Amino acid sequence: MTEEELACLEDIGTVRRFSDGEQLFDLGEMDYSFFAVKSGAVRILDHSHGEPREVALHEANSFAGDVDLLTGRPAVISAVAKGDCETIEVTACRIRRMLGEIPTLSDKLLDAFQLRRARLESSGFLGIRLAGSSHSKETMHLQEFFYKNKVPHTLFDTDTDAGQKLLREWGVTEKDTPVLGCGKRVVCKPSLADVAECLGICRDIPDELYDVLIVGAGPAGLAAAVYGASEGLQTLVVDRMGPGGQAGQSSRIENYMGFPSG
């Protein structure tokens, strides 16, 4: 981050100092803050294998935070100070507002958040553990839900030794599948509502009067929602699975308006 960008963040945030090993935010924390590093360093830790493992180190003029800051979901990693460090803390709510106010900074953060999530997933991060047969309709249904809602997960196929080992570890059998390991909880044959509740991604719909209700968040529904909201209409879009529709199942679509690089 440039000196100007840090100054900008300082205007809307609070300077906070952490000593070595002190936690900035914890795994599973909701609405955790964004931290820009002024001096010292911040370690990002993955806990999905049991023992914490460093997956990134943010030094001076960098920042800690990922896409969950925008979606308001629980943190999938934790952050601790390495040595004494000075940061600028900006609350999640304020950072979301800032994205609409400072486009240059917003582009930088959005790119970094997406890249970080992709890197985390390719670094061996397990995310949510799902045990089930890769040929089962129920398992595929849960995978589609994870995929559409950008929930990092790993399938332990019960047709393999690794899958059978996990079932034994969890004390369940094949007839209980699909089984979800969610923190310390093991949930057998979960419904999508159970999964959303487990992951802390349930959203209450505010009890307000809406001008437009759009059922289905595929390309048509999302476009209608964007244009409805931009015309000042109180707009609500709901989907039984998650955003993206059929287009969300494709690895690359190159002709969708507003996404020239696919």
Ligand X SMILES: Cc1cc2nc3c(=O)[nH]c(=O)nc-3n(C[C@H](O)[C@H](O)[C@H](O)COP(=O)(O)OP(=O)(O)OC[C@H]3O[C@@H](n4cnc5c(N)ncnc54)[C@H](O)[C@@H]3O)c2cc1C
Which residues, listed in sequence order, are joined to residue 58 by a DSSP beta bridge? 42
Among 93, 162, 226, 247, which residue interacts with ligand X (rule: CB under 6 A)? 247
Residue where the block lists tokens 């997960």:
153
| Distance in Å, CB of 236 to ligand X, minimum | 12
| Distance in Å, CB of 181 to ligand X, minimum | 26
SS (H, E, C) 137-173: HHHHHHHHHHHHCCCCEEEEECCCHHHHHHHHHHCCC
| Distance in Å, CB of 28 to ligand X, minimum | 28
- Where would I find the beta strands (DSSP E) of the chain? 14-18, 23-25, 34-46, 53-59, 63-64, 78-90, 128-132, 153-157, 179-182, 185-188, 212-215, 235-238
What is the Cα–Cα distance from 56 to 40, expressed in whole angstroms? 14
Nearest alpha carbon to residue 158 among 145, 148, 168: 168
Note whether 174 and 188 are within 8 A (CB).
Answer: no
Q: Which of residues 194-223 bind ligand X (CB under 6 A)?
A: 215-221
Among 122, 230, 246, 261, which residue interacts with ligand X (rule: CB under 6 A)? 246
| Distance in Å, CB of 230 to ligand X, minimum | 18
Q: Which of these segments, 101-109, 135-143, 204-212, 243-251, binds ligand X (CB under 6 A)? A: 243-251
Binding mask 43-82 for ligand X (x = CB under 6 A): ----------------------------------------
Among 23, 39, 123, 249, which residue interacts with ligand X (rule: CB under 6 A)? 249
Is the CB of 72 or the CB of 221 nearer to ligand X?
Answer: 221
Nearest alpha carbon to residue 236 among 206, 219, 217, 212: 212
Is the CB of 162 or the CB of 256 nearer to ligand X?
Answer: 256
Is the CB of 99 or the CB of 241 nearer to ligand X?
Answer: 241
Q: Which of these segments, 50-58, 72-80, 83-91, 249-257, binds ligand X (CB under 6 A)? A: 249-257
What is the Cα–Cα distance from 84 to 42, expressed in whole angstroms? 9
Where does this chain bind ligand X (CB under 6 A)? Answer: 215-221, 238-241, 245-247, 249-250, 253, 255
